[in-house]
Amino acid sequence: MCDVPDVPAVADFIGKRLLEEREDLWFHRSMPSLAIGTKLPDAAMSVMTENGPAIVQLASKLAGRKTVVFALPGAFTGTCSTKHLPSFMRTLEAFKAKGVEEIFCVVVNDPFVLQAWGAATGSTAAGITLLADADGSFTNEIGMAFSAPAIGLYNRSNRYALVVNDGVVTHANLDAPGVCDLSTGEALLALL
């Protein structure tokens, strides 16, 4: 009988090695525009409902509320599934105690993938709202798109975590490509 590798650990190792050895494989399309005081642009996001996919406007989800918006490169990827998303599941109640009404995870994937990922990770049941930026237009508009062709990632979102009050960024943590430290739930919570 052969040993089955720990797939997320292998993916993390490969990603870190690629980043360390070939920084030229990662590139940004534009400079981030997530400064404190910035009003997030409106965007049509896809969510999965009981009746199938639906479009929601980001601005209406953020209006008049204190929320957290974080993003990651993709569903079912190693670090996203084992570190980043779980960090917000662990800190959800602590964020609520600080007045946060909802936590949104923005991913450049389709709503069908996010529905399966939410079920597989337990994040949907835990109360994290997964928003599909299916065509990446929001991610591009805020300057957080990156590609890593060597590992099959094109026009994905770099990791970031924001506290947003009535659509305006009040706290922001942005990670460098291939890193998941500043954008975790614990790191963002420490700012409040």
Number of H helices, E strands in the chain: 8, 10
Q: Is 80 a catalytic residue?
A: yes
Q: How far apart are the first and last CA of the chain?
A: 50
- Identify the CA nearest to 133 among candidates 188, 57, 66: 57
7-189: what fold? Answer: Glutaredoxin (3.40.30)
Domain assignments of the chain as residue spans, ordered by start: 7-189
pTM of the model: 0.85
Residues 6+ apart with CB under 8 A from 38: 168, 169
Calculate the CA 32 to chain-centre distance: 15
Q: Between residues 21 and 171, which one has the greater pLDDT?
A: 171
Catalytic residue among 2, 80, 105, 180: 80
Q: Tens digits of per-residue pLDDT, 86-119?
A: 999 999 999 999 999 999 999 999 999 999 999 9
pLDDT bucket at 24, cuts 50 / 70 / 90: very low
Q: Is the pLDDT of residue 41 over 80?
A: yes
